[in-house]
């Protein structure tokens, strides 16, 4: 039986350090219109009291490498949620990179074999990868996978749009990201 390929080691600290903070990333984007949308959306993300408390009391620092480009609709929809969490959590540090900046990193996070962004890679305080998220909530990813499987991606995208419209507060994204943050910050099982 052939051995699977051995992927090169990723030095997450270097990847993280090469990324941009949100404001700089936003300024350097391609779409002023999408930049304005993301800023407006970030301001509208509402967190519950218990979520704010959890963010402010992370057990240890968490780093996130966000693979994102502002031309993408899912980036416009989901980056503001991640950044809103970072606005609240003093121990959550996020850096933004492009797909082309670290292609060897991005290729590890293809979605069903395709290039899709955003991808958020969660790292603990010593830059050990603990999870990843994207390019959309789990229910939406499943719909896209089912659409590909049955040959009706157009219907799948229509259903994803309906889920997005039904979740104006981005609650699914907030909850999934909070779960990954808790994992990255945990000190014990």
pLDDT tens digits along 101-144: 999 999 898 887 888 999 999 999 999 999 999 999 999 999 99
pLDDT band at 9 (very low <50, low <70, confident <90, very high): confident
Residue 77 has pLDDT above 90, yes or no: yes
Predicted model pTM: 0.93
If one looks up domain 12-136+170-185 in CATH, what number appears? 3.40.30.10
77-96 burial: b if 16+ Cβ within 10 Å, else e = bbbbbbbbbbbebebbbbbb
pLDDT of res. 168:
84
CA distance 120 to 164: 19
CA distance 57 to 50: 11
Any idea of the CA torsion for 56, 57, 61, 63, to the nearest 10 degrees?
Answer: -50
Domain limits of the chain?
12-136+170-185
* Tokens read off for 127: 């830059």
Contact 109, 117 (CB under 8 A): no
């Amino acid at each position: 039986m052939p051995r699977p390929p051995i992927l090169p080691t990723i030095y997450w600290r270097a990847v993280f350090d090469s990324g941009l903070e949100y404001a700089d990333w936003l300024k350097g984007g391609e779409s002023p219109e999408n930049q304005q949308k993301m800023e407006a959306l970030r301001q509208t993300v509402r967190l519950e009291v218990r979520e704010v408390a959890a963010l402010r009391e992370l057990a240890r620092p968490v780093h996130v490498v966000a693979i994102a480009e502002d031309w993408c609709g899912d980036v416009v929809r989901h980056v503001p949620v991640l950044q809103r969490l970072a606005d609240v959590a003093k121990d959550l540090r996020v850096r933004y990179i492009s797909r082309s900046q670290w292609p060897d990193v991005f290729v590890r996070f293809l979605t069903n074999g395709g290039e899709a962004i955003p991808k958020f890679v969660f790292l603990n305080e010593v830059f050990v990868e603990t999870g990843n998220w994207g390019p959309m909530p789990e229910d939406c990813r499943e719909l896209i996978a089912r659409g590909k499987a049955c040959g009706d991606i157009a219907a799948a995208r229509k259903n994803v749009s309906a889920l997005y419209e039904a979740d104006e507060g981005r609650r699914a994204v907030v909850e999934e990201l909070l779960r990954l943050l808790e994992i990255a910050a945990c000190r014990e099982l």
